[in-house]
């Protein structure tokens, strides 16, 4: 089974963005680098759009079938990890938007104002909904270690395919040769 160009392009864009946003998110949170918040939020919203489309593609077309013979336990582990990653790519931006939007901090999108901020005269954010904002904040902050652990597991799995099994799993996900004609079909073949 080959993978559609859409599957490969979405995987690369979302994977790179997620890794960058996690790094920037932790950095800006730890160092209180408030100037980075708008760019983190803007790229986060962009990931939400790509990731939502990818969920639709996955539900419609199904998952890539494994390359070669893989032990059942490894197949189950890979499927669980893929589901967790797919959910995280939607959950993270959604909880970020809950935290910032409902918290009165606003959601910018590359210069546009998707949700206006709500500051009082002292410059303090006034939440539209404390419940939604704090639920978003709790999930967005507390799941980071779990997410990083899952990504590490996923990358270790990819490395195992490449160096131990020496199969085509990585090649078919990262090779973009001769795939221009499949771009508009947007589905697994």
Q: Which residues bind ligand HEM (CB under 6 A)?
A: 7, 11, 14-15, 18-19, 21-22, 25-26, 29, 37, 40-41, 44-45, 47, 58, 64, 66, 78, 82, 85-86, 88-89, 92-93, 96-97, 99-100, 107, 140-141, 144, 151, 154-155, 158, 169-170, 173
- Residue pair 45/145 in contact by the 8 Å Cβ criterion: no
- Residue pair 127/102 in contact by the 8 Å Cβ criterion: yes
User: Which of the 8 DSSP states describes residue 67?
Assistant: S
Q: Which of 25/104 has CB closer to ligand HEM?
A: 25
Q: Phi/psi zone of residue 110: left (φ > 0), alpha (ψ -120 to 50 degrees), beta?
A: left
Q: How far apart are CA 128 and CA 13, in angstroms?
A: 33
Least Å from the CB of residue 69 to ligand HEM: 13
Least Å from the CB of residue 177 to ligand HEM: 16
Least Å from the CB of residue 121 to ligand HEM: 22
Q: How far apart are CA 76 and CA 172, in angstroms?
A: 20
Q: Which of 131/146 has CB closer to ligand HEM?
A: 146
- Residue pair 116/122 in contact by the 8 Å Cβ criterion: no
Give the DSSP per-residue string, 131-150. HHHHHHHHHHHHTHHHHHHH
Least Å from the CB of residue 120 to ligand HEM: 18
Least Å from the CB of residue 10 to ligand HEM: 6
Q: Which of 58/187 has CB closer to ligand HEM?
A: 58
């Amino acid at each position: 089974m080959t993978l559609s160009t859409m599957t490969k392009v979405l995987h690369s864009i979302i994977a790179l963005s997620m890794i960058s946003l996690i790094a920037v998110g932790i950095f800006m949170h730890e160092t209180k680098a408030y100037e980075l918040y708008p760019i983190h939020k803007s790229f986060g919203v962009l990931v939400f759009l790509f990731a939502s489309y990818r969920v639709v593609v996955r539900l419609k077309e199904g998952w890539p079938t494994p390359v070669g013979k893989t032990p059942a336990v490894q197949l189950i582990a890979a499927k669980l990890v893929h589901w967790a990653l797919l959910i995280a790519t939607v959950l993270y931006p959604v909880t970020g938007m809950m935290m910032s939007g409902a918290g009165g901090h606003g959601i910018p999108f590359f210069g546009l104002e998707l949700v206006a901020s709500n500051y009082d005269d002292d410059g303090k954010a006034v939440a539209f909904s404390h419940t939604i904002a704090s639920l978003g904040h709790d999930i967005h902050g507390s799941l980071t270690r779990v997410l990083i652990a899952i990504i590490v597991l996923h990358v270790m799995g990819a490395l195992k395919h490449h160096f131990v099994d020496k199969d085509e799993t990585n090649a078919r996900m990262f090779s973009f040769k001769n795939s221009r004609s499949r771009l508009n079909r947007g589905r697994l073949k």
